[in-house]
Amino acid sequence: MKTTIELPDALAERAKLLANEQKTTLRELVTAGLERELDRRSAGSDIDFAWVTYDGQGIQIDPAMAISQSYELT
């Protein structure tokens, strides 16, 4: 499919130079980049996440104490 897109001049120039250096076409470079970005954006999270709870009561920490403790970490 043919389509037209507008790119910033500097980006288009960088892409052309890279394609030339790698002995490929601008079309192949743009296709590979677009496929990679579409895959990245549509991929789900690979991180297992579980909420940590404390018998439903929370951590029971004073906010001022939490701030004080955080300054001691640096």
Q: Which of 28, 25, 27, 37 is nearest to 4 (CA)?
A: 27
This prediction has a pTM of: 0.56
Beta carbons within 8 Å of 62's beta carbon, 6+ residues apart: none
Q: pLDDT of 4-54, one tens digit each?
A: 999 999 999 999 999 999 999 999 999 999 999 998 888 776 677 777 776
Hey, where are the domains in the chain? 9-72
66 falls in which pLDDT band (50, 70, 90)?
confident
